[in-house]
A and B are shown apart, each in its own frame.
Chain A
């Protein structure tokens, strides 16, 4: 469904991605691991149209999408949850969620349905409906960011380090959310530093180093292969 072939990306004069290739099938949870600075976030940003690749192809459902404007990708079914969450701080929780709901073809009933579903899954968000996004705690903001992405009813969610800076209790909540999304048939491309979590939820995993994918295996294989984990991730 989502496929990158030999993607090179530059940021100003720096050559960040040196030929990344990966693939995500519908409904899969795919992990993207690697140390800081190897280009994981840049990969997601390239997919989301925030940076244009200088070479290579990015295809979604067979269509070339490299360089397409992000708002079109959102309508096509790709949702992005960035590393720093990027909640609209001055909008309320409800308004943050609404940004994903004003799409062509949405009825008021459907909007209500989706909102109710989110509030059921994340009761904290229901409580804080009228509060400004900026007043939420880190973990709550992460939930809001994911919830907001779910409002797009996406086919795939690009999740960038969702557990960064969160307490262990919140980390397991994130794990539950990912499992929930997986059950709903939403594909996830998960960028993470948290190796155990990633190996626990993913179907297969890519490991990056210096702008390239160096290793690719199923989660099961990796769980057994400590040498590889140590080599690329130092844990």
Chain B
């Protein structure tokens, strides 16, 4: 059964778009892991909270851009507060504890969202409607916009890391937390800051994803799972790796959904994860130490 070319084309672009949104989520997660060894089980729920914050903002103000800004700021602040209260005391304890603690947080956040906003999905109106001509097909502008925005946010963050004053602090802390502290860098605050940035990026993805899939209280799990897979495949702490892996996995899933149902297409990413863990356990781009 031959698959029509236009389907393949659409799925390629879809894959790229979804990949960029996933990259936005995963970069935050991989950074958080790289700098403080925290596996944030609740990361997807930050995406969800961002989506709801955005939905609420757009319902009151009507502006998508304001919604995006509000979501990022509110959830970044929330993330900082969360890290400072629940995760800081756990620094130095074994990784099992942080997984459990963030898992507990995830449950609470999900049910809180259910309580606050109810079980039905919220929609976010896209700022750009209409479609454009992609070869001989029509493709929505908004989807392209999400990819561009995601890329811009990640790009901006990368520049900040490279050239910003606090960028050095973050990079130094990531390489050698103890020496960074000995040089006067306030490591606990760097940790809080990075968590906040990760949370903010997650929130942004939630808002960007809103018009595409709606915002529901249990959307977090999907994002968390996929982000985990990306982080493992791309290499923990490896920003570039996670971007590449996000796109790779999203493309594979998009193509798979041509053959099987979307619910089953998700197995593709699982398979990629398992293959990676079998043959390149430290990630595709980080050479496995012999």
Contact = CB atoms under 8 A, between A and B. Distances in A.
Interface of A: 48, 50, 69-71, 73-75, 79-80, 82, 86, 88-91, 95, 98-100, 102-103, 148, 152
Interface of B: 165, 168-169, 171-172, 175-176, 178-188
Nearest to A73: B182
Contact of A69 (B165, B169, B179, B181): B181
Contacts, number: 64
A95 B168 contact: yes
Contacts of A99: 168-169, 172, 180, 183-185
9 A-B pairs with the lowest CB-CB distances in the bound complex, closest first: A74-B184, A70-B181, A86-B179, A99-B183, A70-B182, A80-B182, A71-B181, A71-B186, A88-B172
A99 B184 CA distance: 8
A70 B178 contact: yes
Given A48-B182, A80-B182, A99-B185, 16 more contacts: A69-B181, A70-B178, A71-B181, A73-B182, A74-B181, A74-B182, A86-B179, A88-B171, A91-B168, A98-B168, A99-B172, A99-B180, A99-B184, A100-B184, A102-B184, A102-B185
Contacts of B172: 88, 91, 95, 99
Nearest to A151: B183
A76 B48 CA distance: 43
A148 B186 CA distance: 17
The secondary-structure label for the interface of chain A is loop
A152 B184 contact: yes
B184 A103 contact: yes
B182 A75 contact: no
Contacts of B182: 48, 50, 70-71, 73-74, 79-80, 82
Nearest to B174: A90
A98 B185 CA distance: 11
A90 B175 contact: yes
A148 B176 CA distance: 15
Contact of B183 (A50, A69, A89, A100): A100
B169 A89 contact: no
B168 A89 contact: no
Contacts of B180: 88, 99
Nearest to A133: B175
Nearest to B181: A70
B169 A102 contact: yes
24 contacts: A48-B182, A50-B182, A69-B181, A70-B182, A71-B181, A71-B185, A71-B187, A73-B182, A74-B183, A86-B178, A86-B179, A88-B171, A88-B175, A88-B180, A90-B171, A91-B171, A95-B168, A95-B171, A95-B172, A99-B169, A99-B172, A100-B183, A102-B165, A102-B169
Contacts of A48: 182
